[in-house]
Structure 1
Amino acid sequence: MEQAIAPTTTTPRRGEFQHANSVAGSIVSSLEQQPFAVEIEEDFPSGWRVHLKFRESRAAGLFEFAALVDVPVTRAETTFGVHLDAVARVETIEVRGSALVSQARAAELEGLPAPLPTPDASPAAQPVPLGASVLAQVPAITPVVPAGEEPPPDDEDGDDDAPRCVRCGCTEDAACEGGCSWVPNRQLIDLCSSCATSDEIAAMAHTLAGSEAVGGGR
C-alpha cells in the first residue's frame, strides 16, 4: 500500500486574501490623504498583512489611520529622515502604516515646534598660502651697499626722521647727481629712482610721474 505524500508547496488561501483585501479597501476609503501604495502579503505565522505606504506630502494620512484604529504613531530617527509608523490588528489582519519624512515635517505633523536650523557645516575658508598671495609677487626692497663702500652716512643735520634712500643714502636736500625721485612701494621703504631696478619700478603701485620729487634738482 502506497503512503500519501503531503504537498511541499502551500496554496494561497483565497478566502483569507479576499478578507485582507477587503479590510485594506475599507481603511483606505476612510482616509482623506491616501497612501501611494498598498501591499498585501502573507506571513505564515500570523496570516495576511497589509502595509499602507504614505509619501511625505500625504503623511497626514498615516495619522488619520492611527486615529481610525486608535493606535499611536511611533517615530525613529534615521540617516534619511524620520520614519513614522503605526501598527494595528483589524479583524484578525495586521495593518501597518508608515512614512519617511523630514524633521520639519515630522514636527509639523506631531504638533511640535519646528527644529532649529542646522549650523552651516561648510568648511572655513582656508588661509592663502604665503607664496600665492598678492604681496608675495612684489619684490622686496632691500638695502644694497656696493662692495668697498661704507653704509650711507647719517643725516648731517642730525635729523634721523628725514627720508633717506636705503641704498645710496640721498635725502630731500641731497639728491643723486642729475636728480632722482622717490619710488613709491608696498613696503613703504624710502627708495630713490636712481637705485631702484626696472623690475622694482614695474611692480610699484604708482608711476614715477606721480611720485613726490626729492630735493630741488629732482
Structure 2
Amino acid sequence: MDQATGTTPAADSFEHAHAVIGSLITGLAVRPFAVETEQDFPSGWRVHCKYRAENGVGLYELAAALDVPITRADTAFGVFLDAIARVQGIEVRGSALVSTEQAAEFEGQPAPTTTVPETTTTAPAEAATIVPLARATTDAAQVPAVTPVPAINTERLDEEDEPRCVRCGCTENAACEGGCYWVRNRQMVALCSACATTEELQAMAYVPAGAEAADGAR
C-alpha cells in the first residue's frame, strides 16, 4: 500500500505492519477490540488482534481472511482460540478466550449439556441386607463395595498450582509463541504481556516471569 507521499513503506517498518493489518481489518464485519503492533527482533514485526468473548466469531472471520485454521486449547479459564499467519512478512495473530458454550456455537456444534442422573427410591423391603461381621469373610460377595473418599486438602493448592494467564492460559514453562512476561495489575491475577492491552502495559510495571529472564521474556 502506497503512502500519501507515493513511497512504499519498508518491509521491516512499523508503517508496513500498520498498512498490512489496516487492509485486513477494513474488510471485516466484526473487528477486534484491540490491535497491538510490536517488533520482535528475531522474527520482525507482528500484529496481535484481540477479540472479546462476545465477539469471538470475528476471529473466525479473520482466520478465513488469512486462510488459516483456528487452533483450540481447553484451559481452566475457558477455551482459548488462536489463529496465526504471515502476511507480506508480517506475523498476524488473532486470539479470543471464550466459554465452552460460545466455542460450540462458533464452531456450529450443539452446546454441551450436563446429564442429571435419574434418582430411584428403594422400598424398605428391598433395602440392602446388612451382613453380620462374623459372616464378612464368607459372604463378602454380598457386601456392596464402598470406596472411601479422602478429604481434599486445599491449604496448598495455591502454592502447588502453576500460575496461568487468565486470558490465554500460558504458564511459566509454556509461554506464548515468541515469548511473554507477567504484567503486574491491580486485580492481582496472572496476566501475560501477550494478552495485556496497551493501556495495561503502559499503566502497570511488568514482572519478569523467571529470575534469570533479565529482560522479562519467557
TM-score, normalised by the number of residues in structure 1: 0.47
Name the larger-Rg structure. Answer: 1
